Structure 1
Amino acid sequence: MSLPHPDFALYDNVGRTTEQITAQREARPTADDLHRWAAHDAREFAPSLPTEDAGQSISDWTRHLYRARTAAEVHTVAQEVLGDGHGGLGELHLFLETAAEWCEHNQEPAIAARYRQHAEELSALGDQLAYLGEDHLASTYRHTDRPAPGQPMPAVAMTPAAPTASIRRPAR
């Protein structure tokens, strides 16, 4: 009977990642395997997807931030991306909710619950980001000691002027 070479496992795992080695020991696929299999199974569906990256529009908005010169301009850009309605954050929330509905419809309630949990976390993050934007504006306009443009100037209390002595002109 021959004994196994003591370095066999080392040589067998040369070039493998830690995830690959662990997955082999646990007899499960790696994340790369799962992604590769999904890409293969979706090969007929994938060409119908938009050709640009999903994050491309966010990258465009980020470029607008680089051009911003004032807090008001930063806030305007941020509102478009993060604000209520159809901003990027709202659309991502809708995407997660739709994924949850798909999972429920396809008898995957545990995965649906996780999508919903992340949608709720995203919603809470959106609230925090809205507060951050408001705090940023409040800080900016507070430091300038002036009201925001378009706001009426506060009325200055005026004290009545002391009556002046009328100057009499000689009658002609």
Structure 2
Amino acid sequence: MPLPHPDFEMYENVGRTTEQITAQREDRPTAYDLRRWADHDAREFSAKLPGENAGQSIRDWTRQLHWAHTAAELDTVAQAVLSDAHSGLAELHLFLESVAEWCELNDEPSIAARYRQHAEELSELGDRLACLSEDHLAGIYRRTNRSASAPPPRAVPAAPAAPAAPARRSAR
């Protein structure tokens, strides 16, 4: 008869995460379990979704940063992603608001309120990022235009001209 491993009882949770151990103790599913169940239940719907992941366009804009050489070029890329109108940030805000509406229509008002709260936080973040962008541009343009706003340098007096040779008088 084989003897049980002496450490079996002590290390029965080896390889498990803290979340898995806690969830097992509290008899509830882990976040991974919930996602796995949702993926299974939505598999037919998921097959109809676009193949490209949602963050792909942001990655494309991030790659454009490698080509930016000036603050103005950087700002152009940043505004496409972060500005108020039709940017990635604005679309994400709209997405969160739409999720909140869906939750309300499906009798989940407390979850809807949380999505709306995050949409509002995202909007506030957008405002702070806009200020950061303006500060960045102002700093850059102040440095590059400093010479234009500074008083012109004093004119340096020209070196005295060499004395002219005395005029020769003609011998009469």
Q: How high is the TM-score relative to the length of structure 2?
A: 0.79
1: CA distance between counterparts of 2:133 and 2:122? 16
1:9-20 equivalence runs, <5 A: 9-20=9-20
SS at match of 1:12: coil
Which residue in 2 is equivalent to 1:53?
53
Question: Any gaps of 5 or more consecutive residues in structure 1?
Answer: 1-5, 148-152, 157-172
- Could you list the runs of 4 or more consecutive aligned residues of structure 1 that deviate by over 6 angstroms after TM superposition? none
SS at match of 2:117: helix
Which residue in 2 is equivalent to 1:27?
27
Letter of the structure 1 residue corresponding to residue 98 of structure 2 = T
1: CA distance between counterparts of 2:81 and 2:16? 41
1:151-162 equivalence runs, <5 A: none
Question: Any gaps of 5 or more consecutive residues in structure 2?
Answer: 1-5, 152-172
Deviation at 1:73?
0.2
Deviation at 1:84?
1.5
SS at match of 2:43: coil
Bigger radius of gyration, 1 or 2? 2
Deviation at 1:15?
2.1
Which residue in 1 is equivalent to 2:41?
41
Does residue 1:100 correspond to 2:100, yes or no? yes
1:1-172 equivalence runs, <5 A: 9-145=9-145
2: CA distance between counterparts of 1:86 and 1:61? 14
2: CA distance between counterparts of 1:67 and 1:125? 26
Sequence identity, in percent? 72
Letter of the structure 1 residue corresponding to residue 120 of structure 2 = E
Post-superposition CA distance 1:24-80 (Å, at most 9, x none)? 000110011001000000011001111001000000000111110000000011111
2: CA distance between counterparts of 1:107 and 1:8? 47
Post-superposition CA distance 1:77-108 (Å, at most 9, x none)? 11111112111000000000000000001011
- 132-141 or 8-17: which moved more? 8-17
Post-superposition CA distance 1:85-137 (Å, at most 9, x none)? 11100000000000000000101111101000000000000000111111111
The RMSD of aligned alpha carbons is 2.1
2: CA distance between counterparts of 1:7 and 1:100? 50
Q: How high is the TM-score relative to the length of structure 1?
A: 0.79
Which residue in 1 is equivalent to 2:166?
none
